[in-house]
């Protein structure tokens, strides 16, 4: 019988946040693939787990994935952990899960701690629709596009770049609500809420310490005027363009939904 892969989230700071299911899986695993054997050993020693460890990180992921698949095909059950939180979420593991699926091996994912979810809830910002961006980009244009999302944005950020990133946001929308969540579940946990301008100024004076998750309120929606876009669509159609493709092009240029443009065009034609 082939073995399987068990994806095990680990505490993001407080070791007491590990679940009973994760501990059971770690004890029963033939092998634990971990990002840093020293950090994982600290968790295992706390709970008396003595399973074999194998390093699995971004620099050896491809080679280790092939090795681990072979061991699972031979019957081993492998637990996958990262240093903190859910593997694959801005952590190694994607290549291994992908390789297991391609090889027809079972993949079991256990629930557990997540810095992104903890920060989202602690931010007091809307959580009905949100987007996780991983680590924020460094280039200003890419950063501006990330902040323009119409959903609540959750992202990891280096403490030394918090002020600079918030300054970019404040330049575009000084009043955008933001929460800076740092050291979640740890002794010095802190959640600071305020406007982009307020927090950019605060952290320009003194950078935060520790691991940081930024939560940013959704960008305000701007309704693009219909008539100028519809006039452009009419001119394209009169010049010989097909209505639906032309509506798509005008939508990309103006921000007016293509369906709205097409309906307005065809309704006008019916009249």
Q: What is the mean pLDDT of each run of 10 residues along the chain (271 residues)?
A: 96 96 97 96 96 94 96 98 95 96 98 96 96 94 92 97 97 96 96 97 96 95 78 94 93 85 78 48
Whether residue 92 sits in one domain with residue 185: no
- Predicted pLDDT of residue 116: 96
**What's the pLDDT at 257?**
82
Number of domain units in the chain: 3
Does residue 81 share a domain with residue 14?
Answer: yes
Residue 72 lies in a domain: yes
What CATH number does residue 24 fall under? 3.40.1010.10
Decide if 221 is inside a domain.
no
Structural domain of 255: 226-270
Predicted local confidence at residue 223, as pLDDT: 64
pTM of the model as a whole: 0.78
Is residue 68 one of the residues assigned to a domain? yes
pLDDT at 239: 94
Q: What single string gives the DSSP state of each residue in the chain?
A: ---EEEE--B-SS-GGG--HHHHHHHHH-SEEEES-HHHHHHHHHHTT----EEE--TTTHHHHHHHHHHHHHTT--EEEE-SSB-TTSSSS-HHHHHHHHHTT-EEEE-----HHHHHHHHHTS--SSEEEEEEPPSSHHHHHHHHT-SSEEEEEE-GGGHHHHHHHHHHH-TT-EEEEEESTTSTT-EEEEEEHHHHHHHHHHS---S-EEEEEPPPPP-PPPHHHHHHHHHHHHHTT--HHHHHHHHHHHH---HHHHHHHHHHHHH-
The last residue of a domain, from among 47, 80, 109: 109
The answer to whether residue 260 sits within a structural domain is yes
The pLDDT, as a whole number, for residue 258 is 85
Specify if 177 maps to a domain: yes
Of 54, 85, 109, which residue constitutes the final position of a domain?
109
Note whether 53 and 147 are same-domain residues.
no
Boundary-marking domain end, from 177, 196, 216: 216
Would you state the pLDDT for residue 222? 60
Q: What is the predicted pLDDT for the residue at 122?
A: 97
89 and 170 share one domain: no
In this structure, is residue 95 part of a structural domain?
A: yes
């Amino acid at each position: 019988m082939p073995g399987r892969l068990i994806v095990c989230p680990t505490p993001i700071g407080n070791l007491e946040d590990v679940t009973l299911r994760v501990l059971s899986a770690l004890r029963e695993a033939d092998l634990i693939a971990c990002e840093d054997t020293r950090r994982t050993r600290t968790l295992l020693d706390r709970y008396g787990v003595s399973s074999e460890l194998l390093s699995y990180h971004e620099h050896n992921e491809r080679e280790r994935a092939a090795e681990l698949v072979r061991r699972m095909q031979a019957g081993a059950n492998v637990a996958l952990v990262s240093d903190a939180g859910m593997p694959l979420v801005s952590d190694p593991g994607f290549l291994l899960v992908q390789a297991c699926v391609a090889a027809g091996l079972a993949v079991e994912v256990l629930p557990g701690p997540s810095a992104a979810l903890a920060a989202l809830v602690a931010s007091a910002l809307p959580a009905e629709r949100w987007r996780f961006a991983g680590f924020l980009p460094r280039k200003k244009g890419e950063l501006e596009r990330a902040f323009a999302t119409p959903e609540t944005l959750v992202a990891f950020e280096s403490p030394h770049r918090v002020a600079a990133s918030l300054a970019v946001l404040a330049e575009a929308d000084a009043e955008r609500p933001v929460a800076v969540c740092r050291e979640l579940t740890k002794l010095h946990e802190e959640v600071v809420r305020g406007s982009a301008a307020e927090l950019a100024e605060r952290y320009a004076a003194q950078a935060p310490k520790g691991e940081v998750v930024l939560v940013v309120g959704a960008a305000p929606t701007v309704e693009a005027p219909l008539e100028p876009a519809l006039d452009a669509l009419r001119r394209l159609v009169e010049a010989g363009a097909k209505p639906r493709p032309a509506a798509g092009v005008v939508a990309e240029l103006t921000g007016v939904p293509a369906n709205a443009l097409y309906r307005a065009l065809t309704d006008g034609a019916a009249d």
